[in-house]
Amino acid sequence: MKRLIAGLLLTVALPAFAAFDVGQLMNELAKHKGGKAKFVEKKTISLLDKPVVSTGEMSYIAPGYLEKRTLTPKPEILILDKDMLSIERDKQKLSINLSNQPEALAFIDSIRGTLTGNRAALEKNYGLYLSGTSDKWVLTLLPSEQKIAALVLRIVVSGSKNQIRSIEYLQADGDRSLMTIEPLETK
């Protein structure tokens, strides 16, 4: 009788210990409708003696608007609005329609797909590998298309619940970028 009760208790308790999976992460990320954050980005470029460190603020409005304002070392504004990418630097502005740039769009979709919790968009170009728990997770994106793999070896996104805390890119040429993100409180 004790074994029967213990077995029933174990059966009832097991779902509470189910593994955290990609579907659960995407559902959590989809709940985040936007916000503002500070960032520090460290780019290691093989042609330079030391990493380039930039700081600034970002804002995101689901599903398709992302603005990155770099304050140091040099002011720059990058705006992604749906498939249009605008870059403003030194009083010059450049706009690119990403729908005409499939490899660039796949790279941008790694950011946008993660921010919006759009698993289908991510799985078009990447294999998804998740580790950790809801409180501390790491999502690794490995390119599944050769044209993308020729540019990016992997993208590693980490966070907590529905907040992204860091994004690391390792490019095929060995250059890398690590951006740490600190959400700002909204008033």
Distance of alpha carbon 118 from alpha carbon 99, whole angstroms: 18
For the chain, which domains are there?
20-183 (2.50.20.10)
Pairwise CA distance, residues 79 & 52, whole Å: 21
Task: Going residue by residue through the chain, which has 187 residues, state the pLDDT in tens, using 9 for 90 and above.
Answer: 554 444 444 444 444 445 789 999 999 999 988 899 999 999 999 999 999 999 999 999 988 899 999 999 999 999 999 889 999 999 899 999 988 887 888 888 888 899 999 999 999 999 999 999 999 999 999 999 898 899 899 999 999 999 999 999 999 999 999 999 999 976 5
Residues whose CB falls within 8 Å of the CB of residue 83, separated by 6 or more in sequence, listed in order? 97, 98, 99, 105
Strand segments (E) across 17-174: 34-44, 52-61, 65-72, 76-81, 84-89, 92-97, 126-133, 136-143, 152-160, 163-171
For residue 182, the cross-strand partners are 38
Q: Helix, strand, or coil here: 120?
A: helix
Helix (H) or strand (E) holding 122: helix 119-123
pTM listed for this prediction? 0.85
pLDDT for res 186 = 63
